[in-house]
Structure 1
Amino acid sequence: MEFEINGARRTVEVDDDPAAVEVVRDRLGLTGTKLVCSGGVCGACTIQVDGEPRVSCLTPAVVLAGRRVTTVEGLSGHPVMRAFAGEDALQCGYCTPGFVVEAAAFLERWRAAHGRTRPGREVIADALAGHLCRCGAYEGIFRAVAAACAGDYDTEPTGREAPAVPRAEAPEKADGSARYTTDLRPEGLLEG
C-alpha cells in the first residue's frame, strides 16, 4: 500500500490487515501516535487523514492507501503545539499528541469560519470530546486551544523574546518526541 505521511510518500505491506496505529507506530516508528484504549474512546492515537481527524486504532491501515496522513510529527512548529507548551496544557503528556492533532484540525476549521476570534470553552470541549486526559489537564488544554485559535501563538518567538515554558519537557510532549516505555523497543525484546 502506498500513501503520503507527513509529506513523504511511503509504501508499506499490509497483508495481515493491521490497524493504522500499528503501521504508524510499529512499522514507521512515528511513536507520537499512542495506542491506549484500542477502542476509539481516548483519542491518544488520533491522526489526520486528508485533513480530517481519525482514531487510528479503529481505522484499518488499508484505508490510508492513496491518502494524505498527518501525525503529530508532521505538525512541527504548529501554533497549537506552541500553545500546549506555553499554556501548560499537559501533565504526563501521553495523551497530548492526540489532542494536538485534533486541535490543529479544529483550529483550521475555526479560522476558516471565524477568523482569529477566540472560541468559547464549550465549543472547544465539544471539538475535543473524543479525547481523554487522565491527568485532568483540561483547563490548560481549553486555554491553549483558545489562545492558538486567537493567534496568540502564530509566530515563534526567538532569542530573548522567547518566554520560558512552564514545564521544561513540554515541547517534546506536545510534538510527540518525548519517549515513554511503550515507545522503546530494545534489540531482542520479548513480549508476552
Structure 2
Amino acid sequence: MTGSKFYNGYLHVNGEERVVHFRAADTLLTVIREGLGLTGTKYGCGNGDCGACTINVDGWPQKSCLMLAIEAIDKEVLTIEGLNTTPIQKAYVEKNAFQCGFCTPGFIMNAHSLLTLFPDADEQMIQDWMESNICRCTSYQEMMEAIHSVKKG
C-alpha cells in the first residue's frame, strides 16, 4: 500500500484564490480550518446534524463536514471570515443572539444565505432554514429577531 495521495489545488475562498494541499478524503471543513487557518468554521458533530460548520458554497449554505474539499474546486466558498461586518452579524450582536458563540458562525452563514437568496422569506421559510442548525445555550427567539431586523419586505 502506497499511502494517501495528496493533491494541490486552488480553492476560491472569501473572494481569493487559495492554494491548498489535501488528501482526496479530506473534508472541506478540515481544509478550511487546518489548511487555511480559518477557524471561525467550527467542528461540532462531524455528521451534519449541528450546523456549526456551515459555510456558503456558490451562495448556498453547506455543512462543510459533509463536503469533500475536492468537490469545492471551481466553486465560490464563503466562510464567516469573509462576511466581515454584514447587517446580519451586526443584528446578532444588537439582539444578543448568542451566548457562548460556538454555533453562531454557522447560524449567521445560514441566515446570510437565506436573506441573500430569499430576501422576502416568510416566517415558515425562515424557521425551516434555521432548523438545520442547533444551539445548546441560547434562545432561538433572539436569533429570529436578528433575522427579522435585517429582512427586506
In the alignment, the residues of structure 1 paired with residue 143 and residue 34 of structure 2 have an alpha-carbon distance, to the nearest angstrom, of 28
> How much has 1:31 moved relative to structure 2?
0.6
2:84 matched residue in structure 1: 76
In the alignment, the residues of structure 2 paired with residue 89 and residue 119 of structure 1 have an alpha-carbon distance, to the nearest angstrom, of 20
* Structure ranking higher in strand proportion: 2
> Does the Cα contact within 8 Å between 1:119 and 1:146 map onto a contact in 2?
no
In the alignment, the residues of structure 1 paired with residue 80 and residue 64 of structure 2 have an alpha-carbon distance, to the nearest angstrom, of 13
Determine if the alignment matches structure 1 residue 105 to structure 2 residue 107.
no
Determine if the alignment matches structure 1 residue 23 to structure 2 residue 25.
no
Q: Secondary structure at the match of 2:43?
A: coil
1:164 matched residue in structure 2: none
**TM-score scaled to structure 2, two decimals?**
0.89
Q: 1:28-47 residue pairs with structure 2 within 5 A?
A: 28-47=36-55
2:138 matched residue in structure 1: 136
Determine if the alignment matches structure 1 residue 2 to structure 2 residue 4.
no
> Does the Cα contact within 8 Å between 1:53 and 1:105 map onto a contact in 2?
yes
> Does the Cα contact within 8 Å between 2:56 and 2:77 map onto a contact in 1?
yes
1:80 partner letter:
I
2:4 matched residue in structure 1: none
1:37 partner letter:
C
**Gaps in structure 2 of 5+ consecutive residues:** 1-8
Residues paired across the two proteins, number: 145
Q: 1:1-192 residue pairs with structure 2 within 5 A?
A: 1-111=9-119, 114=120, 119-120=122-123, 122-150=124-152
> How much has 1:51 moved relative to structure 2?
0.7
Deviation track 1:125-170 (CA, whole Å, cap 9, x = no partner) reads 111111000013201001101111148xxxxxxxxxxxxxxxxxxx
Matched residues, percent identical? 38
In the alignment, the residues of structure 2 paired with residue 130 and residue 136 of structure 1 have an alpha-carbon distance, to the nearest angstrom, of 16
**TM-score scaled to structure 1, two decimals?**
0.72
> How much has 1:53 moved relative to structure 2?
0.7
CA RMSD of aligned residues (A): 1.5
1:38 partner letter:
G
In the alignment, the residues of structure 1 paired with residue 24 and residue 11 of structure 2 have an alpha-carbon distance, to the nearest angstrom, of 17
Deviation track 1:62-82 (CA, whole Å, cap 9, x = no partner) reads 011111100001011111100
